[in-house]
Homo-oligomer: A and B are copies of this chain.
C-alpha cells in the first residue's frame, strides 16, 4: 500500500510474466480466460493502477481531452463544459479546461499549448480566425461547438431557424419595425444571426433597424438602451440573452417597461432567462446536447484515427414565448 504497485508486482503474485499482465488490460481477448481472471482478481486485490505516464510514453496517448471556452463566467458556457466533461468521463477521458478570457490574441497559443497535453480538443465558440482553426485542426484531433468553418468538424446550432421563429413570432404579434441589437464581430454566431435576421425580416416584409455592435455582456446590453429608444422600433431582437437582460434592466431605469412599451426577445435560453422577471422570450439552444454530441464525435475520431464519424446536422432551436414579448398596440391590462 505504501509504494504503488507495478505491473511486475502483479505478475510476480500471479506467477506470470509482466507482458501477460499488460495484455490482460490492453488486449483481454488475447489472454486465456483463466489466467486473465486470476490476474484481474490479483490486480484489484493489490490495488494495482496502471501508471498513466508509462503507458502514455509508449502509446503517445494521454487519456485526456481539452476544453477551451472564451469565458466561463458567461452563463452560456458552463452547461456546455459540464456536459462535455461528463461525457468525457463516461468515455474514459479526463477533461482539461482552459478559459481564454475572450482574449482573441492569445487564444491560438493557449489552444495549441493545451493541444500538446491532450488527445483531442473541444473548442467552444472559438473566436480565432478560420485560417487558424483550419491550421490547428489539421494538426490535432478537434471538434468545435457553435462555430462553422469549412473542413473543420463541428457541432453547430441552427441559428437561422431560431431567427426565423423569432421573426415569425414578432410578425404574428403585429410588429413591423424591428430592431436587431448586434453583438461583437468576433462572435461567429452573432454574424450568422444578424445576417439571418436581415434576410428573414426582409422576406417577411418587415423593416429592420440595425443597432450596435455591443459587447455580448449585461453591460453591453445596457449600453444599447439609448440607441434602442431612439430607433422608434416596437420590438428588438437581441444577439443573446445576457445582453437582452441588460437592455431590459437599463430600459427600466429609463422608465420604459417591457413588454408594455417595447417587446424584447433574446437568444440562447440561458438559465436566468426563465428566472428573471419579466421572464425573457428567447430561442432555446440545446447546449447540453451539443456538448454530448461533440464529445461523442471526438471519441469516435480518436478511435477511428481518420475523420470518419458522422457529424450531426445543425441542432434544432426552439422559440420560447415568455413574458417580454406582446402584441403591438394591445391595451394594457388593468393593474
A interface with B by C-beta (< 8 Å): 49, 51-54, 56-57, 62, 64, 67, 72-73, 75, 77-79, 81-82, 85-86, 89, 94-99, 101, 114, 116-117, 218, 245-246, 249, 252, 271-272, 275-277
Closest B residue to A272 by beta carbon equals B272
Q: Could you say which residues of chain B place their CB within 8 Å of the CB of A95?
A: 96-98
Are B51 and A57 in contact (CB-based, < 8 A)? yes
Q: Is the CB of A52 within 8 A of B99?
A: no
Residue of B with least CB distance to A86 = B99
Contacts of A49 in B (CB 8 A): 116
- Among B57, B75, B85, B116, point to the contact of A97 (Cβ < 8 A): B85
**Which residue of the partner chain B has the closest CB to A52?**
B117
How many angstroms between the C-alpha atoms of A97 and B118 in the bound complex?
14
CB pair B98–A89 under 8 Å, yes or no, is yes
With A54-B57, A57-B53 already in contact, the answer to whether A64 and B275 are too (CB < 8 A) is no
Closest residue on chain B to residue A248 by CB atoms: B277
Give A73 to B270 CA distance when docked, in angstroms. 10
Copies of this protein in the assembly total: 2
- A296 → chain B, closest Cβ, in Å? 18
In the complex, the answer to whether A82 meets B86 with C-beta atoms within 8 Å is no
Mind listing 20 A-B residue pairs with CB under 8 Å?
A52-B56, A52-B116, A53-B54, A56-B56, A73-B78, A75-B75, A78-B78, A82-B99, A86-B99, A86-B101, A89-B98, A94-B96, A95-B96, A95-B98, A96-B96, A96-B97, A246-B275, A249-B277, A272-B272, A276-B276
- Shortest CB-to-CB span from A101 to chain B, Å, is 7
CA distance A114 to B97 in the complex (A): 14
- In the complex, are the beta carbons of A81 and B97 less than 8 A apart? yes
A52: chain B residues at CB < 8 Å are 56, 116-117
A254 to chain B, nearest CB (A): 12
CB distance from A134 to the nearest CB of B (A): 18
Residue of B82, B98, B271 near A85 (CB, 8 A) is B98
Say how far A80's CB is from chain B's closest CB, in angstroms: 10
Residues of B within 8 A of A85 (CB): 72, 97-99
Inter-chain contact A72/B62, CB cutoff 8 Å: no
Q: What separation, in Å, do the CA atoms of A101 and B259 have in the docked complex? A: 36
Contacts of A64 in B (CB 8 A): 96
Min CB distance A333 to B, Å, is 14
Q: How far is the CB of A14 from chain B (nearest CB, A)?
A: 23
Nearest B residue (CB) for A218: B275
Task: Compute how far the CA of A201 lies from the CA of B87 in the bound complex, rounded to whole angstroms.
Answer: 46
Task: Note all chain B residues with C-beta closer than 8 A to A81.
Answer: 72, 97, 99
> Within 8 Å CB of A246, what residues of B?
275
New A-B pairs, 11, CB < 8 Å, besides A72-B81, A89-B98, A252-B277: A52-B116, A53-B53, A53-B62, A82-B101, A85-B98, A95-B97, A95-B98, A96-B96, A97-B97, A249-B275, A272-B272
